[in-house]
Structure 1
Amino acid sequence: MSEVTSIDAVQARLGEAGYVCGRSLATVVFLALRLGRPLFLEGEAGVGKTEIAKALAQSLGRRLIRLQCYEGLDAASAVYEWNFAAQMVAIRTAEAAGGADRQALRAELFSEDYLIERPLLEAMRPQPGGAPVLLIDELDRTDEPFEAFLLEALSDFQVTIPELGPIVAPEPPIVILTSNRTREVHDALKRRCLYHWVDYPTFAREIEILAARAPEASETLSREVVAFVQRLRTEDIFKRPGVAETIDWAKCLLALDVMDLSPEVISDTLGAILKYQDDIQKLQGSEAKRLLDEARQRLAS
């Protein structure tokens, strides 16, 4: 598949992969591809940061390699580890044969035959179809030492294995980093990236997204679902629902053969859009009806 040559082409390609985005996001994706710069996406959980990496890989025909970040993630876990079980078998086999050359055995044990590649090392390897899309997801879950390691890895697009030396990517991967902003990521890392804040979509954009991801939903149901979710986001709740929850809720309603919303249906399906019991309790009883009435008034106006 040929590379994208314009911002409009980026929007079209992503749209074909089921990802509806505005021109500002398409512009920064185009620049990241054209300039070979990592793309850093920040925003609330569920607004589509991870999905854009998946859609980009699909639209470009590239492999997606995902590094899911978590507290305590270190460079070794992200890059490689040695297959200790296979190494022990090789050692015992050599001992049973007798007279093993220790130097030769060591060279064999710490060769690529016994190397287990993790996402960062995989992304540095040549891939069929071209450089992969490397998704470093939820970077804010890691700590500063891992960020410092990424500075070198993303600057030179290489990783170092002490026993093998540096491994340089013949073609730099397309890198997308995401953060839910549970903490601030260091400026030094951000400076190496193009930056974009992924916000909640407008009403019209969210309708487009829902039409792409849940096309079975009627126009009436889609409009009510989006209007209710957007009204819900203005409430004082612990976790506002993202676009992912809008899509999940619409699919749940379709599975229940719901044609339009009612306070009873909303109460029965709140677990699709709210993930904290305190938030769910706030919408019990008359609150669901109030929000639905206000959402419908907005639609009418």
Structure 2
Amino acid sequence: MEPSAAFDSPQALADALTGTAYLADEGLATVTWLAHRLERPLLLEGEPGTGKTALAEALAQLQGVPLIRLQCYEGIEASQALYDWDFPRQILHLRAVETAAAANRDGHSVGSSEDLEAELFDERFLQARPVLRALQEAPCVLLVDEVDRADDEFEAFLLEVLSTWAVTIPELGTVRARTPPLVVLTSNRTRELHDALKRRCLYHWIEHPGLERELAIVRARLPEVAETLAREVVEVVQQLRADEGMVKPPGVAETLDWARALAALGHSRLDPEVAAATMGAAVKYREDAERVRVALDRILTR
């Protein structure tokens, strides 16, 4: 089921995403709907924890298709995203052929080197990595996560694949997607991506949500959390984000983690002592923890 076919408008897609507990605003729903309708990759940038990865997961769930994830990191190479050959199995096959030939079992012979090479580079020895899998298994959602961690050469490789929806394997030929996968690229903007890649994509910056939207997200994702507790957690997180001195303000993911932790401990309200004991779910830097400890009494005892 494709969003462009099943949903006649961005609002219809947003409503359907709500059923997966993902709340998309009008801008995000529109660009996502267009990405599938126009068969264009979707590039999402924003602070960590704002729901970039979660959108790809929600889209795969909504469509009932596989989610194939490529986690980028410094030094990643095209082969780690595309394919590799199963070298140990190739060696075992080669030894089996040599053993059979030596024993002349059933008149078997090794044959020409060309025949043997063709056997060794048969598709059964091919290990498909995420990009190749996405082309083979489409329709699917291909999540290229934290693409800003990769280098320029890897960006160029991605650009070529996203332009043609095909890759060439010298030993086997060209693999082309019958249906282009829905590609979602995420970036935390640790570096600027090249214009060529951005031009190939539809772009959207995901902001931290406002108080009411974030509260709605917590209620949708964590219905077991008491309403009072959910509101108090969201209010505290919103104020922490407003503190420009924080190294890394908490994202929505941290809000959810904090509310989940408090509920697991049986709390229905948030007070300074409880907040200080559990804030490791929301704050990940020592410098921020010190600032939050000072601020908690002021925030929660107004």
Shared fold (TM-score, shorter chain, > 0.5): yes
1:105-144, aligned counterparts within 5 Å?
Answer: 105-127=116-138, 131-144=139-152
Aligned residue in 2 for 1:269: 278
Shift of 1:6: 1.1
RMSD of aligned Cα (Å): 1.2
Amino acid at match of 2:235: A
Shift of 1:170: 1.0
Aligned 8 A contact 2:257 2:281 in 1: yes
Q: What's the secondary structure of 1:283's corresponding residue?
A: helix
Amino acid at match of 1:222: A
Give the count of matched residue pairs: 290
Q: What's the secondary structure of 2:269's corresponding residue?
A: coil
Q: Work out the CA distance in 2 between the residues paired with 1:135 and 1:287.
A: 38
Q: Work out the CA distance in 2 between the residues paired with 1:293 and 1:190.
A: 46
Q: Which residue among 173, 178, 190 is the counterpart of 2:186?
A: 178
Shift of 1:293: 3.8
Shift of 1:144: 0.3
Amino acid at match of 1:54: E
1:1-301, aligned counterparts within 5 Å?
Answer: 1=1, 3-98=6-101, 99-101=109-111, 102-127=113-138, 131-235=139-243, 236-284=245-293, 286-293=294-301
Q: Work out the CA distance in 2 between the residues paired with 1:240 and 1:287.
A: 14
Q: Work out the CA distance in 2 between the residues paired with 1:59 and 1:182.
A: 30
Shift of 1:291: 2.6
Q: Work out the CA distance in 1 between the residues paired with 2:153 and 2:190.
A: 17
Aligned 8 A contact 1:57 1:63 in 2: yes
Q: Work out the CA distance in 2 between the residues paired with 1:215 and 1:115.
A: 45
Q: Work out the CA distance in 1 between the residues paired with 2:202 and 2:301.
A: 42
Q: Work out the CA distance in 2 between the residues paired with 1:37 and 1:240.
A: 32
Amino acid at match of 1:19: Y
Q: Work out the CA distance in 2 between the residues paired with 1:50 and 1:132.
A: 15
Aligned 8 A contact 2:215 2:230 in 1: yes
Q: Work out the CA distance in 2 between the residues paired with 1:11 and 1:192.
A: 24
Runs of 4+ in 1 over 4 A off after TM superposition: none
Amino acid at match of 1:196: H
Any idea what the Cα deviations from partners look like across 1:18-69, whole Å, max 9, x if unmatched?
A: 1011111000011111111110000000000000000011111111111011
Q: What's the secondary structure of 1:184's corresponding residue?
A: coil
Aligned 8 A contact 2:98 2:110 in 1: yes
Aligned 8 A contact 1:232 1:291 in 2: no
Aligned residue in 2 for 1:297: none
Shift of 1:283: 2.3
Q: What's the secondary structure of 2:115's corresponding residue?
A: helix
Q: What's the secondary structure of 1:66's corresponding residue?
A: strand
Q: Work out the CA distance in 2 between the residues paired with 1:277 and 1:126.
A: 44
Unaligned runs of 5+ in 2: 102-108
TM-score (norm 1): 0.94
TM-score (norm 2): 0.93
Q: What's the secondary structure of 1:241's corresponding residue?
A: coil
